[in-house]
Structure 1
């Protein structure tokens, strides 16, 4: 339809003008005509000619615009076709054989009605799949080679290391959390920066990439002795190299980074002062200091100026040192001397600007570098980031901030961290159990603890779109509901909000259609751009868990708390949506887990029986095997019972758990047995 309208607009006006008025010019005007026009310029004939010329000019402008857009589309299509991989000879042969086999079979087929595909049967696991591409994160340009975010582009291996660093943040928070009986501390449940969540979402539902040679691979595309980067992409590429080198610098045996204080401030802006000391890099004031550190006999671990963090500059046979400067850090003689020292020690010198003594490559805004000898042939694409995206990524890559938040700040970083205030039915109020059984007739049951499933009469419903499943889980976590902006920001982080409204409506429409196929009850209420699950028509296991915790907390004054605690354990079979990696889940998953271990610490503090005290702590460790405080309390309880070997074994298992997830190299609270009764 658009093509027909454009063709009609391009062809229609010229046809009308030529038919009604004629061509715009019938030849050059004669002397008599010019003299007559000067004597009486405004006549019917001249006005008609002027209007005709104006109409022709407008048509020419439209035709020019259409031509330019067509050329741009053709160039984009041509560039895409160049990137399409051609089949290898073996693949072409296999395709030909397969085609011949298909045609050979189809020429002798019997025209019988094919059997209908089997309908999905109810099993222990519901099937969730996407019927079309609009639901997933393909629009975030996650390909085998990289991920596009609002502030730039990251190679695939760099993006995967960012997600690993983000996961380490939440594991560190689990390890360091101290369960509190009365005043839980949720000040560290602040969601991660938007750029990080966008990278997580882009990689959430994609298969892992094949193993690469590490995050230092982009540096292999640069000349051995270093390079100067010029052009509009110099600073974005410099920020990308900074993030790439710091990710590699988390392993001191792989690489280390030296950067001047001026260059770091130029790349990060005001954030350089707070992030610099927490990053695994060496900050120097001058180029001479960098050259001194590169010398083979230089003090690799010597303290620099105050506030700088010295790192090992040589460790392991495959170690590589990277020096990142800008063109104003030193004069030509200093840069030449530094380059000579770097060449002798196999260091890589990257100057953000023109390098007077070495090769200079042009960096475009997309991250491609163009060398001087082959300017038309770009190098492999490097990471490009703006200042905001770089700061977001370095926030999770950097070590933990040594200054904890003020306890009296009164700020709640997670508005829905606490159990929702839901009206309890008489059944819950009387018995402290779930409001309705999952097998209640014609009532939906949403299970979000463990693998998310929507069930009716204990049979799972197939939800075709992953966004539809996310909507259900998000509204379950937010029982008071959410608006369109909250849903789109959570499900599709990092994408323009105005382009997602239609996608959200499509997912909601498909979800409602799926529910209506088995149940006519209005499960999702919609009022004033606000969505919420109707508690009268759907049961949620998370809501039942919160009601059970509330009921158990109300029985703490009683003497028999074992039954209440067992009810809580039964209501918490697994973590919140444990099989899903949606970035918005992490704060809520951790908040729910903390409510359980807070109750565990509360019950343990009131338990006079040492064996029961130990059993409660072991239950808490089973729920969170990384929490150091629970391990410390359990170790001291074992010492009280005379089980020293068991206490040492418990500590060793805890350290092994931390080592498996990458927390062994960080400082972690050690189990102390100096005060056996301190946990009571």
Structure 2
């Protein structure tokens, strides 16, 4: 009916207008007609023509809107069909056997019970916990699709390396943080770039595996000695090659990367040179400088297997040196000489553009490479990235800026330096339920420290959708609430926001339905376009932790009792079993509030033994923090003379 109504609306008005009034334009007006119109503009004929033109414009607007909606639907359907996983041979065999068994039962008149069909064989397909997870992210058994982000596409091995680099960033921030009792420094808690969080989200629900060692193998698909890249995807492939090579160099120490300054600016923009200084690569100005690190190990013929052509993919060891430049970095003679040197040393020389001595492969926008002289050869697919995505990934891979000199050599504050002044998160106004004579209603408890769970009278409630659980944890961390945009950006990073509102509403509806089935208490309130947890009906362990920290910071006379209360409240890291990308800044901020309090109490503690114990407790909270280890070492050294003095007095 909707289709018939749309067709009638598109066909009916033009037919009526053409039949009653005729076409909107019957030719250009003559001079006499223009003169008559200027003398008397409002006539029956001109008003009719104006109304007809307005009707035609309205119809064109409606037709344009319908056409745009149809194109969007077609694109979505096409993308869904491309992502729809095809059955593996084992799955097809199992399905065929099951189908044959079914048809055999319906057509066979034998009354004996047929044998049960064989159980399906596990094929290793990733079982995502959230049905809204991207369907093109597979497990190691089906990694050919890789990970799609807003700025391009990454092979699964490269995505794993990016995730490992992101985790290393947070470990580095934990190591370098300086616990301070009065002015905590949280300037380094900024979230990672959007491209990185999108990759993390894609791998969040996938099976946890160590980063693959096949990153360097992606480069082995290229011919020995290198090649030239032409086509619309040359620069995108060049950026992906830059990221892949840097990651391969981090896991495979023999791999080095040499890039010209002009190529780095061409790929990454004006900020490329500044970023390049923080990356494990060698930046040169000319082609001759790029050839200097290449030391020939022998005749070029020794580098090839018998019968192997120079333009065939390498099957030997990984390329130890990669040179990345563009066709304008040097003249034909220089590029040819560099290519010969690269072939002699088994280096991979990649020219973004036409290479004088060949081979030249065509790179399309999806990252597929094609050798025009050997069309039957397999076409490898490399990482493709736009400038923004490549910069995001390299920013995470790059080494951090050096710390100001002298910061790490300062002595920790002496005891009794002053009262601690902690900047604590805003507390949620806790309201006690009214006292009733009837039996108490069910009480809900949300546990976000450790494995997130919603408990009803101590019993865990199963929340099927990962998005629903993320909403609960996000609102627990943000007691003042969050709007739709904040929730969708956190749960589904890197995806268009307008396409995620329906997912959020579905997750919230199912979450409320699940809670309503077990309890009639309203947990998630929605007002002023903001979602909030109702503190009158739900307890959150994170809120209790914040209150305990506040009380401990104010109680400086009984440090042992106050600190023990904090340790009892801090049962584990924030959602420690989850790898949601948006969690990292909040998890680290919560951990820092604990070790800040530890430093504050240790500074105020007059007993050196107790101060040392407080610092050791802080190390158990965050064993990666270098400053806590330094303070423990200093406190242990200072404690020895104090012990001797105590023994002498005794």
Structure 1 residue 177 displacement after superposition = 1.1
Which residue is 1:477 aligned to? 477
Which residue is 2:428 aligned to? 422
Contact 1:443/1:537, CA 8 A, preserved across alignment: yes
Structure 1 residue 160 displacement after superposition = 0.7
Distance 1:202 1:252, change over 3 A: closer
Q: How far apart in 1 are the matches of 2:629 and 2:111?
A: 68
Deviations 1:591-636 (A, max 9, x none): 0001111111111112222322222122111111111111122223
Which residue is 1:620 aligned to? 618
Which residue is 2:183 aligned to? 183
Which residue is 1:666 aligned to? none
SS of 2:188 mapped into structure 1: coil
Which residue is 1:608 aligned to? 606
Contact 1:253/1:319, CA 8 A, preserved across alignment: no
Structure 1 residue 335 displacement after superposition = 0.3
Structure 1 residue 574 displacement after superposition = 0.3
Contact 2:138/2:206, CA 8 A, preserved across alignment: no
Which residue is 1:678 aligned to? none
SS of 1:634 mapped into structure 2: helix
Q: How far apart in 2 are the matches of 1:162 and 1:231?
A: 27
What is the CA RMSD across the aligned residues, in angstroms?
A: 4.3
Q: How far apart in 2 are the matches of 1:74 and 1:205?
A: 26
Q: How far apart in 2 are the matches of 1:171 and 1:130?
A: 27
Distance 1:77 1:396, change over 3 A: closer
SS of 1:460 mapped into structure 2: strand
Distance 1:221 1:543, change over 3 A: same
SS of 2:329 mapped into structure 1: coil
2:584 is aligned with 1:586: yes
Q: How far apart in 2 are the matches of 1:279 and 1:262?
A: 16
Q: How far apart in 1 are the matches of 2:540 and 2:80?
A: 50
Residue pairs, 1:226-237, within 5 angstroms: 226-237=226-237
Contact 2:84/2:135, CA 8 A, preserved across alignment: no
Structure 1 residue 162 displacement after superposition = 0.4
Q: How far apart in 2 are the matches of 1:501 and 1:449?
A: 28
Which residue is 2:596 aligned to? 598
Structure 1 residue 500 displacement after superposition = 1.1
Which residue is 1:401 aligned to? 401
Q: How far apart in 2 are the matches of 1:641 and 1:131?
A: 52
2:274 is aligned with 1:274: yes
Residue pairs, 1:287-436, within 5 angstroms: 287-296=287-296, 318=318, 320-375=320-375, 379-402=379-402, 418-423=424-429
Which residue is 1:508 aligned to? 508
Q: How far apart in 1 are the matches of 2:562 and 2:591?
A: 17
Which residue is 1:671 aligned to? none
Structure 1 residue 361 displacement after superposition = 1.3
Contact 1:453/1:461, CA 8 A, preserved across alignment: yes
Q: How far apart in 2 are the matches of 1:13 and 1:110?
A: 67
Q: How far apart in 2 are the matches of 1:254 and 1:102?
A: 58
Q: Is 630-639 or 581-590 further displaced after alignment?
A: 630-639
SS of 2:289 mapped into structure 1: helix
Q: Structure 1 stretches of 5 or more lacking a match?
A: 22-50, 112-128, 299-315, 408-416, 428-438, 644-680
Q: How far apart in 1 are the matches of 2:560 and 2:540?
A: 25
Deviations 1:103-156 (A, max 9, x none): 677889999xxxxxxxxxxxxxxxxx98973x3233789972311111111111
Distance 1:602 1:99, change over 3 A: same
Structure 1 residue 374 displacement after superposition = 4.2
Distance 1:74 1:572, change over 3 A: closer
Deviations 1:7-35 (A, max 9, x none): 88899999999xx99xxxxxxxxxxxxxx
Structure 1 residue 516 displacement after superposition = 1.8
SS of 2:292 mapped into structure 1: helix
Contact 1:420/1:543, CA 8 A, preserved across alignment: no
Matching residue within 626, 634, 638 for 2:636: 638
Structure 1 residue 226 displacement after superposition = 1.1
Q: How far apart in 2 are the matches of 1:109 and 1:500?
A: 53
Contact 1:370/1:376, CA 8 A, preserved across alignment: no
Contact 2:475/2:482, CA 8 A, preserved across alignment: yes
Which residue is 1:575 aligned to? 573
Q: How far apart in 1 are the matches of 2:535 and 2:79?
A: 54
Contact 2:264/2:273, CA 8 A, preserved across alignment: no
Q: How far apart in 2 are the matches of 1:257 and 1:621?
A: 38
Which residue is 1:137 aligned to? 134
Which residue is 1:649 aligned to? none
Q: How far apart in 1 are the matches of 2:12 and 2:626?
A: 77
Q: Is 154-163 or 75-84 further displaced after alignment?
A: 75-84
SS of 2:246 mapped into structure 1: helix
Distance 1:213 1:518, change over 3 A: closer
Q: TM-score w.r.t. structure 1 length?
A: 0.72
Q: How far apart in 1 are the matches of 2:242 and 2:155?
A: 13
Distance 1:341 1:514, change over 3 A: same
Contact 1:141/1:148, CA 8 A, preserved across alignment: no
Deviations 1:45-80 (A, max 9, x none): xxxxxx9xxx9xx99xx9xx99xx89x969997996
Deviations 1:552-606 (A, max 9, x none): 11101x2x22111111111010000001101110000000001111111111112
Deviations 1:475-534 (A, max 9, x none): 110111111111111111111111111211111111122222233333222122111112
SS of 2:148 mapped into structure 1: strand
Which residue is 1:525 aligned to? 525
SS of 1:289 mapped into structure 2: helix
Which residue is 2:260 aligned to? 260
Q: How far apart in 2 are the matches of 1:550 and 1:74?
A: 53
Deviations 1:308-336 (A, max 9, x none): xxxxxxxx975521110001000000000
Equivalences, count: 553
Q: How far apart in 2 are the matches of 1:515 and 1:505?
A: 15
Which residue is 2:199 aligned to? 199
Residue pairs, 1:155-166, within 5 angstroms: 155-166=155-166
Q: Structure 2 stretches of 5 or more lacking a match?
A: 21-51, 114-126, 299-315, 408-422, 434-438, 642-650
Matching residue within 561, 568, 574 for 1:563: 561
SS of 1:446 mapped into structure 2: strand
Contact 1:363/1:370, CA 8 A, preserved across alignment: yes
Structure 1 residue 422 displacement after superposition = 2.6
